[in-house]
Chains A and B, each alone.
Chain A
């Protein structure tokens, strides 16, 4: 613990961008397809001698089926042996050229990343090795067993963390039979049952060109970026795009679940399925939530729960837009004895907001914050590649950044009220608490 931030940054989960037409230019995004059909999004950034590459597959845990944890396990195993190289050799090769490799899966996607220096003596071997782990993982038996054990230890860690328990339970209550209920990390039983065949078959079905989006940012030209995209996908099966996910069903009634845990605080989640990418209500909900609980210090929830009542260090709400309806959630943690009171206050704040919407002053302030902060969202290579990855994966319009500011500024109080009323209903929300009994 080097430092104590005043606020959790979890609210940043809602990835959104704004753009101020008059003062600023959004990055110039180039878009094309590789020979095998992977879509490529590229932004040139010449200042630093480095390049970032993200390859995103429609291969999140929502594709796990009966084998919860499969997508994540597959991603972990990419660097566990590939093209005949063992895991130590892969780690050493990346390291000796200063490259950073990563692979992980969330509910919607698997993301495989490379950050490397651009000098030829670094870039070329980095791309070649990246291509190998991406397209030729060997899934060696001993690496599978080792990583399986480590994943199982990770699951035990989650069991001692009230924050992890509440997250898993909340998703389970919201999504029932929908694949978004699957915890990306899997469960002890499912992880134990995953076999090499399952990993290989998951890889060969989903790690394919037509199911891939590539994002590139850094000190390379468009021509070089085109070569990079071909190079890293060389030998990749064309394959086909993943099937659409089933629609998320709405919750029919309110539910409440209290899980006992030997902690001094209760971790609280309240919510229901919320919004998806490209949703017509997106901007009204995004700007509306900014006022409710998305703007950290100055939100209504923060004011009522933290500033007025000192009940929680971190209180927030967010819509997490996904391919299908992602969560809307309010979250907080409070000492065991005041759990009920905190839940009641949070629900009252929400109900009041659904009923009455924001004031004009609140809306104006929110717009100023969102639009005025736009340059911060695209001020580094890592932030830019995050946005183009999102635009690419969800197929958002290429002018998404250019029009975002106008879209935010166009939101009215009436739209927010209307959208919140239609989309949120306290009488159908799930409430989950994890902690000690008062």
Chain B
């Protein structure tokens, strides 16, 4: 239920290596694609980096397995750039990006991509707003032309906005209002983060959506949509230099925007546990626990985020992880239990636990059981076998993820957009493999402490005044019996 990042496995980062790039390929290397050899050699695809004069960064990763290409534009803006009163504006603007420019009518962007056999969409996160097209490789130019156009020439018409913000409100009803677990997560985040902008939901508070106006969007667009605040990521069956020349042709003329210095907006030190209760019509209780932890971007100790990543895998990597073995299958206190860590956040984040109790158990039983697991990690080092399993899983994931050009592009775009370097991606496996059992124990002791914990509990209210909802169960009775 809680998924702040795309997928935990395989997200990378580490050293902040802000490399300023020249006009042409500054960095290029070719790794080897290992055939059936040892999978312990990470597969390093050929990656090229370019920088346009107007400050737009371009990263091209070659993958020649199929005649397709994915193109993604990542803007450094998202919910964590917003302030109270305009929450959700990044996401509403993302919707409005399909509503026409000086030269293209509303909806035309999508029609053109569609007629070129393309698939397109966009997504907004806490730390980014991104737009993508997936195309047969010869159609890439269509995408560049349209994206360059809407980078600076968006119309933002009041009547289109008035409709689209209502679509977003429907989206909020669908995702949050009518989903008790999502709603609990939203309220949980607002409690766990007091001064950090992670306090606010990505989709925005309903009241802010109701009172949003076209000027909020115009200001936001003008401020953040510029080539020097964007990264273009292209992955697929392409030649890097051709991509660069094409990008120069379309994005080159877009004028540079002003440089913006972000304020840190750090979370205040948490001084004691916080608890909230969310009451909502539902059938199942639900528990969320989050501990304040550093991420790669903020870590003082470079290895700590990798150790937290291993910890999340030990607890919840797969069916052989501790929460599955001990809580779901062993004591059977939990119907489901998970742990997660978002290593690629831009700001300090949370090490999360979520769980649904089994039929006769309560959220208190689960909280106690989860804390027992945490204490065990602190008191006795994880076993060699557990650590080995995690390391193999990381190697395997690294290979399996290469089956998707889209996922490869996401990893690059996300790292760059939070201000880290995509090259961390290729170091990830090695960094994880270097983590020791002692280091896992150390981060657990240091960060998983009650004073840095926020707990939220979903307390179900009756769905229908206490009457169980009857939902049909298949063929009519005469057939069933």
Residues of A within 8 A of B (CB): 1-7, 23-24, 45-50, 66, 68, 79, 87-88, 91-92, 94-100, 115, 117-119, 122, 146, 149-150, 152-154, 156-162, 165, 168-169, 172, 175-179, 181-183, 186-190, 219, 259-265, 295-298, 303, 306-314, 333-335, 365, 368-376, 378-382
Contacts and interface: CB of A to CB of B under 8 A. Distances in A.
Contacts of B125: 2-3
Contacts of A181: 474-476
B402 A369 contact: no
A273 B152 CA distance: 47
B479 interface: yes
A369 B163 CA distance: 27
B148 interface: no
B122 A6 contact: yes
A185 B143 CA distance: 42
A264 B169 CA distance: 11
Contact of B3 (A1, A176, A335): A1
B171 A310 contact: no
Contacts of B136: 23, 372-376
Contact of B66 (A46, A48, A378): A378
5 residue pairs, one from A and one from B, having the closest CB atoms: A372-B117, A98-B396, A187-B473, A3-B123, A373-B117
Residue of B107, B396, B478 ringed by the most chain A CB atoms within 10 A: B396
5 contacts: A23-B67, A149-B359, A181-B474, A263-B173, A265-B178
A79 B319 contact: yes
B233 to A, nearest CB: 15
B36 A261 contact: no
B174 A310 contact: no
A314 to B, nearest CB: 7
Interface in B202-222: 202-203
A385 B182 CA distance: 33
B3 to A, nearest CB: 5
A296 to B, nearest CB: 8
Nearest to A290: B114
B471 A49 contact: no
B409 to A, nearest CB: 13
Contact of B474 (A7, A149, A183, A365): A183
Contacts of B91: 4
A162 B180 CA distance: 11
A115 B388 contact: no
Contacts of B66: 375, 378-380
B335 A168 contact: no
Contacts of A45: 65
B39 A298 contact: no
Given A49-B34, A96-B389, A310-B167, A91 B320 contact: yes
Given A177-B479, A335-B173, A92 B389 contact: yes
A49 B35 contact: yes
A115 B115 contact: no
At the interface, is chain B mostly helix, strand, loop or mixed? mixed
Interface in B379-426: 385, 388-389, 392-393, 395-396, 399-400, 402-405
Nearest to A191: B473
Given A49-B399, A96-B389, A262-B463, A160 B171 contact: no
Nearest to A146: B332
A371 B125 CA distance: 32
A2 B3 contact: yes
Interface stretch (B51-59, B277-285, B303-311): B277-285
A335 B469 contact: no
Contacts of B446: none
Given A91-B325, A160-B282, A176-B475, A297 B173 contact: no
Residue of B106, B119, B281 ringed by the most chain A CB atoms within 10 A: B119
A297 B324 contact: no
A160 B464 contact: no
B68 interface: yes
Nearest to B134: A376
B68 A265 contact: no
Contact of B124 (A3, A95, A160, A183): A3
A92 B34 CA distance: 27
Interface in B130-166: 130, 134-137, 139, 163-164, 166
Interface in B325-353: 325, 328-329, 332, 335-336
A405 B318 CA distance: 40
A368 B115 contact: yes
A153 B359 contact: yes
Contact of A149 (B114, B325, B335): B335
Contact of A172 (B43, B130, B324, B474): B474
Contacts of B118: 369, 372-373
B392 A91 contact: no
A94 B393 CA distance: 10
B302 interface: no
B23 interface: no
Contact of A295 (B114, B336, B358): B114
Nearest to A184: B474
Contacts of B121: 5-7
B362 interface: no
Nearest to A98: B396
Contacts of A7: 121
Given A66-B481, A150-B335, A313-B174, A2 B37 contact: no
Residue of A92, A160, A312 ringed by the most chain B CB atoms within 10 A: A160
Nearest to B35: A49
Residue of A190, A297, A312 ringed by the most chain B CB atoms within 10 A: A297
Contact of B281 (A262, A372, A381, A382): A262
B177 interface: yes
B407 to A, nearest CB: 10
Contact of A380 (B111, B130, B185, B404): B404
Given A6-B94, A87-B329, A376-B135, 7 more contacts: A2-B3, A4-B124, A4-B203, A96-B388, A146-B328, A169-B471, A310-B166
A150 B355 CA distance: 13
Residue of B36, B114, B125, B282 ringed by the most chain A CB atoms within 10 A: B114
Contacts of B460: 160
A323 B39 CA distance: 40
B234 to A, nearest CB: 15
B116 A118 contact: no
Contact of B480 (A66, A161, A178, A309): A66
A333 B325 CA distance: 39
A333 to B, nearest CB: 5
A333 B463 contact: no
Contact of A48 (B43, B67, B358): B43
B275 interface: no
B332 A159 contact: no
Contacts of B65: 45, 47-48, 379-380
B27 to A, nearest CB: 24
A30 to B, nearest CB: 19
B182 A1 contact: yes
Contact of B173 (A172, A261, A333, A382): A333
A179 B475 CA distance: 7
Contact of A160 (B284, B329, B389): B284
Nearest to B115: A368
